[in-house]
Amino acid sequence: MTAPLSDMPAAAPEPKGPFSIPAYRNFWIGRLASVLGFSSQSAVIAWQIYEIARRNASIGEAALYVGIMGLAQFIAMFCLTLPAGIAADRYDRKKIMSYAIVGQALIATGYLGLSLMAHPPIWGLIVLAGFLGATRTFIAPATSAIAPMIVPRRFLPNAIASNSMAMQIGSIAGPAIGGALVAVSALFAYSVSAVLFILAAILILTMKADTRPEPQTGSKLAMVREGLVYVWTNKIVLGALSLDLAAVLLGSVTALMPVFARDILHAGPIGYGALRSAPALGAVMVAFYLSRYPLRHNAGKWMYGGVALFGSMTILFGISTNIFLSIAALAVLGASDMISVYVRGTIVQIVTPDAMRGRVGSVSYLFIGASNELGDFETGLIARLLGPVSAALFGGLGAIFATGACIKLFPNLYRADKLE
């Protein structure tokens, strides 16, 4: 007997955007909390290392210690990138993400313990930073692979812009909070980060969505080879990753911010927090705009133009002696970088099959995320040899040169029009 129409379950309403999907809301808020905790903690670690080093070292030597912190994270990321990509293509992605965030909470507890000491060992802070890099390596491919599983394809560009907006909001508020809290107590700053990590892990783990990838056959070594071959032979993906690699490797000024805040701009920890927040402030404004008005045409030209502007603003930051001009330069730097991130992220997600998104995401993170840390070491090393201002100028000019070189090497990416 057929049930009366009034007793039949109502059809689920058609989603009108990413945020109308409950699983995506959980994912977005959890990601925001995670990034907020991480960016706050990272700002505190860099400031604490620079402050401790400056007690007995020159400006250049202290900057190098901050760069070594980036190198420790890069080494961990480099060693674990491909295993992390394989894990994201074999196991439940939300579990990988949440368990890694729990690891970040434990690391924050470790920093708490070191901060209880009268003279925290600088190498202890650096070693823990290496473990922090290891957790980030597993978070990145799992995070990039989750969104296409919970959001319909037509909402994917909006979701990518919204994901970037969550990251940038956390990156704005986090350093500002970290700068304010470290002026009072590093202990309190690390406690706030630990709480945020725990909240993020709970939100991601309780997300009601099937985030298990399709079962993969074949050996892990074969999976690694397949992922690397895919990236190498797909010139659009390779070009997008290479362009961002060059920009972040050469143009990163994160390691210089404690130097400029303390010894060039004389802005103290509050000013340091403002400098660390400025790139994300510019980025989140662009991300918000792109989430509402996605790029329709000339995507490749926008991407290349964003990287060139990124290099120009790095140069302006290097020569500035005014805190407000420095903040403005970093805000424009972040806005231009967001354009590149948006185009690259959308292209890579659209052209990559789901079965390979974890591995491609891990390679992407090695190119982009891990290279930030290697870029910090490169910047710290040049600051030790030539001074912090010369290090910033070198990075900015290098990013502009890399833009021109990539146009020659990957002309099809430059001519890319629609993000479809």
Q: Which residue segments constitute the domains of the chain, with CATH numbers given?
A: 20-210+220-414 (1.20.1250.20)
Residue 342 has a pLDDT of: 79
Q: Indicate the DSSP class of residue 91.
A: S
Question: What is the tens place of the pLDDT at every residue in 86-144?
Answer: 887 788 888 999 999 999 999 999 999 998 887 888 999 999 999 998 998 888 878 87
Those residues with Cβ within 8 angstroms of residue 393's Cβ, 6 or more apart along the chain or in another chain? 315, 318, 319
Residues, the chain: 420
To the nearest whole number, what is the mean pLDDT of the chain? Answer: 82
Per-residue pLDDT tens for 181-214? 888 788 888 999 999 999 999 999 888 877 777 7
Distance (Å, rounded) from C-alpha 40 to C-alpha 171?
A: 8
pTM of the shown model: 0.75
CA 395, CA 378: separation in Å to the nearest integer?
A: 9
Residues 396 and 318 sit within 8 Å (Cβ to Cβ) = yes
- What percentage of residues in the chain have a pLDDT greater than 70? 86
